[in-house]
Structure 1
């Protein structure tokens, strides 16, 4: 009964993976202990996997591929779905879109966008949130966030734009050393040919116009060239696809980008901030 309850609580990807492992293991005439010994895990770990009590991590999937994958690449393919399971529920739909996006444009006014975060910055940010999370959950979320960076080197190449409020570059999480490393990371990314990083100065409002006053947004173009907008606040998200709504947000983003410093000027600005820390 407990076994069935575990499986019912597990995600669809975890359930499918556990079923495939069990079927392939039995097809190979192996016990759980025999498979465990072959991939350097314990029998209880294989049991937990097959009952849904503990989903496989990427390391286990790599070893399962070699042991019982039969050269099909089935467990390698499963990794991206298992990785999606680690994201917060409200972010999963957008995470799928982000992986395949042709164009990704983001405006952030409180923290550096997750796609551009260093591991240390992400850990300080996630681990310092409220309510507090168990250390194991923090590490899973950090790993999932770092995995998103594959988009930077993906083929076909994605066009990625980031507009950051100046305040995000001055707000430390964890320590000033972490912030210094984060600024250096932004500098490195801004020099990629498919990436632009721009800074919206804090005194922009003194000029009587500030298009970013309504908060953050992420704009995405899908592989079939559909345009969508992702909005998130307090763990609640909204993915907009209605053309009039999307157009309104794209126009607002275009104005935010126009009000920001240019890419070269922004790069110099970030470098000066890093030197000041």
Structure 2
């Protein structure tokens, strides 16, 4: 919802803006949103309501209703719940939440989340920054807000929401085996200010104490190691296949052939061997937290 629309007679209006603009480059996501919009319009017209009447009934502006029905706006789940209740759809509209829950996030994030959801083992070496799975919401928002060229507000919020949704990997059952190696420099950069920095360090400690997680710190005193040309990620799946990526192998393009995966696994294994142990790493993060 843009500033000039908020609170105007024909703007989105109402309570919190119930969605994000559709990314025109995301063809699959746009198709889902368009199909949902057509269904909403059919239900509204069948109930004999004008768009303005439906908007008033659920607390949103007429313009927002037209955007959703026209496939130009991705509705939030609560928006669909309200429409379902007003139109007496008996849960049929609310059931479409499953169709839109993923397309709320950028396609790149959706693709990554699908891989992470399948993985039984994840290994990550993060060099310059805190890895996305480990970030707090505030930390992630600051990173996205400072990107250049700058993101729109919609892009920032969708990126943050997608990054936070990926953290469900820590709640999976059975739990995957997760290992992270973070560069010390990333722990010492106070992104978002002192309080957000503390929250981020506390988040690392919380995750690092999970039984299925190994969190290690690569200290700055380590003069050299095999990850100096970029971060590394390796995801292994239950069927024995795997996928990985690193700037140092094929310029960061995803790889799944055994030859390149062996290179990534060799480098990651050496990085873990040179980093502080998980116990030493937690103690180190506690020390940094105490210094903030």
Q: TM-score range by the shorter chain?
A: 0.7 to 0.9
Q: Separation in 2 of the partners of 1:7 and 1:274?
A: 40
2:91 matched to which residue of 1?
A: 71
TM-score by length of 2: 0.79
Q: Which runs of 5+ in 1 are unaligned?
A: 1-5
Query: Could you tell me which of 36, 39, 52 is aligned with 2:58?
Result: 39
CA spacing shift, 1:14–1:170, aligned 2, 3 Å: same
CA spacing shift, 1:63–1:75, aligned 2, 3 Å: farther
Matched, 1:15 2:30: no
Q: Separation in 2 of the partners of 1:63 and 1:263?
A: 47
CA spacing shift, 1:8–1:146, aligned 2, 3 Å: closer
Q: Separation in 1 of the partners of 2:50 and 2:238?
A: 43
TM-score by length of 1: 0.83
2:172 matched to which residue of 1?
A: 154
Q: Deviations over 1:145-172 (max 9, x none)?
A: 1121111112332222111011111122
Query: Could you tell me which of 234, 258, 271 is aligned with 1:256?
Result: 271
Q: Separation in 2 of the partners of 1:53 and 1:251?
A: 46
Q: Separation in 2 of the partners of 1:223 and 1:240?
A: 17
Shift of 1:232: 6.4
1:5-154 to 2 correspondences below 5 Å: 9=24, 11-26=30-45, 30-64=49-83, 66=85, 70-71=90-91, 74-83=95-104, 86-87=105-106, 89-154=107-172
Cα RMSD (Å): 2.7
1:3 matched to which residue of 2?
A: none
Secondary structure of 1:179 counterpart: helix
Moved more, 105-114 or 238-247: 238-247
Q: Which runs of 5+ in 2 are unaligned?
A: 1-20
